[in-house]
């Protein structure tokens, strides 16, 4: 499973993108409305509980390798497990599925502010994301997809190879 995430200040742009994509399916939410503007308004209400949090929007996408699929009824369970393990267990969220790419994938949009006003920590969240996707791969019996830093380098990068073959500059003699 390939996990990507980012944090931002505004909910409406990502909600508008995710919901207006052709073929987008709303799989699960714990909010009362379904339009981008109304969802953004609901999510923005939590900002008042903790105005110190600047980047309160959290967006994650979870993609499967080519050729693998999870059925629509399995994705909400994967999203719930992801949210809980990342610390978003008491937060509003929206889970959408897109069918615009060959890879089966979902988008999870949530607030970093809990309903009690506390904030989900973003410390080491890139490493937590990788650990959670490894656990989801095991839970749903998916093919493991190693992170970039877990892959063994099989060749020298192009710019490193060029620097190896570059001629040294002549020394200026004074």
Does residue 157 lie in a domain region? yes
Flag the least confident range among 14-28, 93-107, 144-158.
144-158
pLDDT score, position 92 = 95
Domain containing residue 136: CATH number? 3.30.930.30
Domain, as residue range, for 79:
2-165
Contact 56, 113 (CB under 8 A): yes
Does residue 93 register a pLDDT over 80? yes
Does residue 51 lie in a domain region? yes
State the chain's mean pLDDT as an integer. 86
Does residue 170 lie in a domain region? no
Greater pLDDT, 105 or 155: 105
Contact 29, 4 (CB under 8 A): no
What confidence category does residue 108 fall into, taking pLDDT thresholds of 50, 70 and 90? very high
Does residue 13 lie in a domain region? yes
pLDDT score, position 130 = 92
- What is the gyration radius of the CA atoms in the chain, in angstroms? 21
DSSP 148: G
Does residue 171 lie in a domain region? no
| Cα(90)–Cα(88) distance, integer angstroms | 6
Angle at 81 between CA 127 and CA 60, to 5 degrees: 55
Does residue 172 lie in a domain region? no
Does residue 105 register a pLDDT over 70? yes
Does residue 161 register a pLDDT over 60? no
Domain count, the chain: 1
Q: 108 by DSSP, 3-state: which?
A: strand
Does residue 174 lie in a domain region? no
Q: How many CB atoms lie within 10 A of CB 31?
A: 13
pLDDT score, position 65 = 86
């Amino acid at each position: 499973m390939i996990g990507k995430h980012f944090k931002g200040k505004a909910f409406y742009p990502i909600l508008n993108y995710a919901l207006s994509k052709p073929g987008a399916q709303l799989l699960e939410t714990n909010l009362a409305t379904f339009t981008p503007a109304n969802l953004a308004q609901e999510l923005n209400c939590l900002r008042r509980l903790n105005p110190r949090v600047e980047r309160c929007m959290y967006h994650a996408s979870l993609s499967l390798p080519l050729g693998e699929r999870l059925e629509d009824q399995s994705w909400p369970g994967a999203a719930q497990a992801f949210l809980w393990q990342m610390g978003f267990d008491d937060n509003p969220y929206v889970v959408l599925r897109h069918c615009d790419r060959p890879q089966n994938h979902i988008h999870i949009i949530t607030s970093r502010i809990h309903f009690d006003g506390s904030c989900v920590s973003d410390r080491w969240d890139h490493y937590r994301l990788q650990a959670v996707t490894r656990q989801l791969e095991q839970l749903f019996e998916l093919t493991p997809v190693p992170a970039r830093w877990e892959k063994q380098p099989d060749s020298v990068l192009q710019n490193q190879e060029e620097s190896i073959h570059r001629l040294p500059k002549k020394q200026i003699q004074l």
